[in-house]
Amino acid sequence: MADPKRTGFEVPAQLREGAERSVEQARNALDTFMGAARRAAETLERSADTAQASARDAAQRTFSSAEQNIHAALDLATRLVRAKDPQEAAQIQADFMRSQFEAMQAQMREFGATTQSALRPTDAATGTRRKSTET
């Protein structure tokens, strides 16, 4: 690089100070941007974790309900095989239908609650579900 004494050209102090301020402002802006990007990535990660937990919970409830329904059907078959006459078999069938209708209603309420919980927005800062404000 040329020696300023030989070329007769020097960068004015004001220009140098302005350039230094510009570089410092750029550095601060980059730090602010990177901090915001990190926070956004963390929020996204928490939301993904929450969605995954909700899906896992829904799958577990589905398997649990299916298992309950299968056991109930097998119990029905056992009771029907042991029925002494057609009237007892009809009563067993009617009792089964009533109890299964009640079980299915309870399962649907659970599924509804799980779905509503999964769809509720999360708090961006903590990744936790917000309480519903609806009544």
Count of domains in the chain?
1
Which pLDDT belongs to residue 10?
83
Range of the domain at 76: 13-119
The answer to whether the beta carbons of residues 119 and 62 sit under 8 Å apart is no
In sequence order, what DSSP letters do the residues of 67-111 get, joined into one string?
A: HHHHHHHHHHHHHHHH-SSHHHHHHHHHHHHHHHHHHHHHHHHHH
Q: Is residue 7 part of a domain?
A: no
Q: Is 72:100 a contact under the CB 8 Å cutoff? A: yes
Domain membership flag for residue 54: yes
AA letter at 119: L
Dihedrals φ, ψ of 129, to 5°? -75, 140
Establish if 27 belongs to a structural domain. Answer: yes
Considering the domain boundaries, does residue 41 fall inside one?
Answer: yes
Per-residue pLDDT of the chain (135 residues; tens, 9 = 90+): 555 556 677 878 898 899 999 999 999 999 999 999 999 999 989 888 888 888 888 899 999 999 999 999 999 999 999 999 999 999 999 999 999 999 999 999 998 888 888 777 655 445 555 555 544
In this predicted structure, what is the pLDDT of residue 134? Answer: 47
